[in-house]
Amino acid sequence: MSSIVECTHCYTKVLPPLSGECPACGKNTKDISGTDPTRTSLSIGHGEELPPFCCDCGNKTDRFVKVIRSVSQKDGGVDSLRLIYFLLGWFLNVIFFILAARNRSSDVVVVRVPQCRDCRKNGSPKPISVNSEKLRMTILVNRHFKQLVDEGTVPSAPSAAEFDPNPYSPPKSS
Ligand SMILES: [Zn+2]
Ligand SMILES: [Zn+2]
């Protein structure tokens, strides 16, 4: 019985056949030669907070690198809208294109990835894939770093209770 594994070559989550051949890249998931066992893929959501540890070496760091990827949203309504505006006149058409351009520029996935000074020298983190629907990107990280993320080692996210100005206020009488 086979189960979902992370391909050791392309880091895609796959369900390989018994032979072990990766459906995504065609290499054998059982063959680990030439692969880096310290690396794994991590899916990060837009604006998600990550623990202050370098994604490449796993050491503590307070340096974060912004990784920005634009995504193209499939929007079926645009073409018909554009036609209506075209019929309404050139002036409105111009306005529409300005608005459309503005909307498009907001279709980006931004994540702040922790990366120490030393690892930064080897280049900033590059996503191996970007999910435009879920606004997530997958990057290659240190296995230890992923563990920290999975364990939820996120810098002090204050609980809602701490923000309650007066937790013991008596219920208001109506
Ligand atoms: Zn593969
Ligand atoms: Zn590092």
| Residue 50 pLDDT level (bands cut at 50, 70, 90) | very high
Residue 127 is encoded by which pair of tokens? Answer: 């996503």
DSSP labels, the chain: ----EE-TTT--EE---TT-B-TTT-SBTT--TT--TTEEEEEEETT----SB-TTT--B---EEEEEEE-----THHHHHHHHHHHH-HHHHHHHHHHHHHHHHT-EEEEEEE--HHHHTT----EEEEETTTTEEEEEEEHHHHHHHHHT--S----HHHH-S-TTPPPPP-
99 CA to centre of ligand 1 in angstroms: 41
101 CA to centre of ligand 2 in angstroms: 37
From the CA atom positions of the chain, what is the Rg in Å? Answer: 23
The 10s digit of each residue's pLDDT in 120-136 is 999 999 898 998 888 99
Which ligand is closest to the CA of 113, given by its number?
A: 2
Query: Residue 109 to residues 79, 132, 138: CA-CA distances in angstroms?
Result: 24, 8, 11
The 10s digit of each residue's pLDDT in 55-79 is 999 999 999 999 999 886 555 445 6
153 CA to centre of ligand 1 in angstroms: 29
Amino acid letter at 92? Answer: L
Q: What is the pLDDT of residue 160?
A: 46
The 10s digit of each residue's pLDDT in 4-22 is 999 989 988 899 999 999 9
38 CA to centre of ligand 1 in angstroms: 16
Which ligand is closest to the CA of 20, given by its number?
A: 1
Which ligand is closest to the CA of 27, given by its number?
A: 1
40 CA to centre of ligand 1 in angstroms: 12
β pairing state of 108-114 and 64-70:
antiparallel
Mean pLDDT score, 13-34: 92
116 CA to centre of ligand 2 in angstroms: 4
20 CA to centre of ligand 1 in angstroms: 10
